[in-house]
Amino acid sequence: MKELLKVNPAAIGRAVAVLRDGGLVAYPTETYYGLGADPFNQAALDKLYRLKNRDQQLPILVVVAGSMACQRLTEGPLPADFHRLAARFWPGPLTLVCTAHRQLPQTLTGSTGTIGMRHSSHPVAQQLTEAFGGPVTATSANISGLPAATTAQQVAAVFSQGLDLILDGGPTPGLKGSTLIGCGHERLEYLREGVIPFATIDKAMQEDKP
């Protein structure tokens, strides 16, 4: 039986306990509601894919508490372009995709060898990652192929079973997801245009050139 809790410190604490126990939590982000699991817990990831009916060849991005938290998710030093973009657009709806640490579950990366990371600007997502002390998955709250939920009530309607807790932080903007940019190669890879237009990314990179 899932819980639906208005966001407060006790609710965040309850969500952290659920995540540490391998459960699934829905929470608001600056785009849609996301589905949170411990990205290092294989059983939790398996539950997440089943809940969404998601193809396991599709990776799942994570939200982090800041750039420093990305070090444990990636292989080797973070690219210079990562640092430039994170400094410009984090916290915010920009997902940066880098080479995944070899010890990350292949279920999380979709066997792509990469990991998508975002520092969410939504206060609830920030509170959750900070209290959990590590990254949390942030795949959109929907059945794969269907529209993503923008309210806690929509999440509850979509997932009648399989979800342990919903953090109700009010409505989210919806409309578009985060923008995805690949930072693992010599040039940026423009993977998905979302809330932040590609043109804005281009302009920022030009301004930051030495």
**Contact partners, residue 205, CB within 8 Å, separation at least 6:** 81, 84, 85, 188
Q: Which residues, given as ranges, of the chain have pLDDT below 70?
A: 1, 210
pLDDT of residue 184: 76
pLDDT of residue 166: 97
pLDDT of residue 44: 97
Domain total in the chain: 1
CATH of the domain at 104: 3.90.870.10
pLDDT of residue 160: 87
Q: For 34-66, how does the pLDDT look when each residue is reduced to its tens digit (9 = 90+)? A: 999 999 999 999 999 999 999 999 999 999 999
- Residue 123, classed as helix, strand or coil, is helix
pLDDT of residue 28: 98
CB 43 within 8 A of CB 182: no
pLDDT of residue 1: 53
Neighbours of 10 (CB within 10 A): 10
Print the domain residue range for 84: 3-207
